[in-house]
Chains A and B, each alone.
Chain A
Amino acid sequence: MSFMSLQVNEPGRSVLMTGNEAITRGAIEAGLSFAASYPGSPTSEILAHLGRLANEHNLYAEWSVNEKVAIEEAAAASFAGLRSLCIVKQNGLNVALDSLVSIAISGIKAGMVLVVGDDPGAHSSTNEEDSRLLSKVVHIPIFEPSTPEEAKQMTLAAYELSENLKLPVTLRCVTRISHASGNVTLGELQNVNKQAIFAKKDRYVTNAALHQLQEVKLAKIRQIADTLPFNTYKGPQNAKTVIIASGPSALYAPEAVNALGLDNEVGVLKLGMTWPLPEKFLLEHMKHAERVIFIEEIESFNEDNVMALAAQHISEIYPLEFYGQKSGHVTGPKGPGVGEMDPDKVKQSIARVLGVENNQAAEKPSLKLETPDVPVREMAFCAGCPHRASFWAMKSAVALDGRNAVVLGDIGCYSLALRRTGWALPQTMHAMGSSAGIANGLGKLERFGFKQPVIAVVGDSTFFHSTIPALVNARYTRANFLLVVLDNETTAMTGHQPHPGMSKNAMGEIVEGLQIEEVVKGLKLPVVIQDPYDVKGTTEVVYKLLQSEGTKVLVLSQACALVAAKASTRPRVYIDQEQCIGDSCGCNRFCSATFTCPATIWDPKKGKALIDEVVCNRCQVCVSLCPQGAIKVEGGANLDR
């Protein structure tokens, strides 16, 4: 977060780093030359850090248009002899998968590491997906760190392994590693090749005949796995109960064992490499155990793989019982595998298996506060967010049109429109760019009696990421829909990363941004540009476009309120409480209760609306929407518009 720790270069010093910073540092210590990524929580910060450090460490860092291109570029750098890094989130790996499968078959040259950020609990994702299953399909090994310190060490080890085996290596991080912080010891910077050359004799070709070589590589890694320092066992030498855990669960487990007073009875086996498995190491500890408890996040990946290993060696380890997601013992309130692990779930799960008293309830003093229920804090568009104005205009235009237009959602801040902050307007939401694909489908159902207009809504970064092929398809097949691009001039959801439409790249260099409307014009499709802060004008434009046939594009252009607020000297917006007539207005508290901008609140003492000026980003949209004209701009100015 602070970035400060990455500016320190004193080998041996212990500094506070997030997991993402630790991976960044590990890659730099490993002599990284080339990094490519598309932003996605929880791993977005890595490429951002590398971009800022590019000059200092003679490396290249790029926000690619999408993950498929990013992984292909990372492979290219490796082919040319440079250590490379590709960083994605779980959904990003889905996008990159087609190419990654092939790259793993063709093999690579210099070390190539793939960081995948999984998001158990879906803190900032549409889904909980366990990417380890995909790495297994790809036939590549998986490191799984438990602390930021280990994330750095594993990054270094992953480069060694990748270069030795000529195979990409996955570093699977979860949110509780990427966004956690801990002490990390800085190491020396390695002196590795930084000269790029594609050797005349080299060939990197995907060929089914290479499948055999992939299996040979995996067999080698299986042996290496048994020698890695990341797989550890702590506890009584011949413990009857062994917990097998990976990721942050490997820290929750010993804490839970200690809290339950079971330090002398239960051992914890931490898996640092979760594919392929350190088989000898696992068998050695399964031999002394009578029961094994699996603790991991999302899928029962370790559980399935270790149980398969155990079945193969049943005569050596019998009798042994297995507890985990499969047996139903290791679970949170929503069921096995659903939601992330935490110290309490781990403690309850162990207590459940061993039939011991979970003394937690007794420890915790009664805290039944005499307060009303604590209201939930629903996610909402920020104060001044142009998306709120855009969705209000679309909602109004759809109502005016009266034909039950179908609005299709996509991935970005504007996916919040599925919630009340966007009046739940979108009726579908899937993957990046999917709204345009679905619009293609709906947009040609007229011959089956379909009469509803279709609006697909994407953001600017999503437009470049994966919407353009759908637009090409729409023009070719004459699909009938309106594509609305909410252009807020940044990749806002993941922390304001630049994209091909912007005039800056990941390393802070000035580049020529690609205009969305130029792309659309190149496809010979009609395009209109409009300021969504002009709600009335936008409503009219959307309505008009819905009355026309064919594929058309509307770019709603207004900078993200958080970026604009930082740069702007916009005048203060306030409510003239003399003019606001409160509940006698008949507007049903439009500004606070319908438009629900977090800056317009209700003043219960006066029974009138009020603007919280600490929260307000001064977009002035509410000024035009108040039926009484009670919302004012200081000095009457209207600078940004």
Chain B
Amino acid sequence: MTRKFLTLAAGALMLGMSSMSALAAGKTIAVSWKTFQEERWKTDEAAIKAVVEAAGNTYVSTDAQGSAQKQAADIEGLISQKVDVIMVVAFDSDAILPSFKAASDAGVKMLSYDVLVEDPNALYVTFDNVGVGRIIAQEIQKVKPEGNYAFIKGDKGDPNATFLFQGMMEVLKEALDSGKVKNVCETFTDGWKPDNAQKNMEQCLTSTGNKVDAVLAENDGMASGVVAALEAQGMVGIPVGGQDGDLAAINRVALGTQTVSVWKNARELGKVAAEAANAIADGTDPTKIAGVGKFSGGAKGVEVNAILLAPTPITKANVSAAIDAGHITKDQACAGVAAGAVPGC
């Protein structure tokens, strides 16, 4: 009886192993999305799916619908389906840690996508968020090296709001210390809401008597609120920075009411992450993948392997970059801009 069982088990094991080796190219790569409530994730998904399927692997996905519990259950489900790699866009980067551990224990390779999960066994693929803040500050400083700067920060509960601000401060530290640049307003904006940003900017202008020379907003939605507030004071045209590559923001850049929108090309991020996932699924050591370095800038300071992509600043000079990449149509980008006034329009 026992022997029979053992033979069966061995046979099953053999079968399993042989099927695994037969599927050398046919790995399964799963993505656990935190939500599909934002448009951008569809872009990421399309890019990931294309790369995964081009390599002969299978793409599966789950949607946590903005719930940490659902995401944990999703990952459990994926582990029991015996997928090879799980890419996770974490909804709550701390609450998901046990799921990461369980997956690693079960031999599933983990990858944290866009949102940092501080698990040393997971590869972190993202845009350099501190870098985004740095670029916003650099572009603003290029056009306005001295003066009063206002900072419209994102939601206080989002670590990215702090990363972005850190980046800005790295660039501006010297100018702030020497007094060339003065920080006259600095506010968090509830929920990253544009209308809240507009009110914050209005209060900033009132409380400084309009003595603001440049505004660094942490995203484009809030930049739209800032521009509306500036317009009411006839101050449109002073440097305004933002990020996201919002279609309306690229149009504002072409019109000259916004100086820079730092664009994180989601297609690019999806492509790089999917390539990394393919490689890991084939057994490549994460540290051997091109572009991988060490990152320990998270809240707990855990060192993880990471790929940090550099984002693209969209300024008047390279509006065409977003058009050429198919991110925005020429009509949308150049609405209201005289033909030839801006390169690409």
User: Do the two chains bind?
Assistant: no
Chain B residues with CB under 8 Å of chain A are none
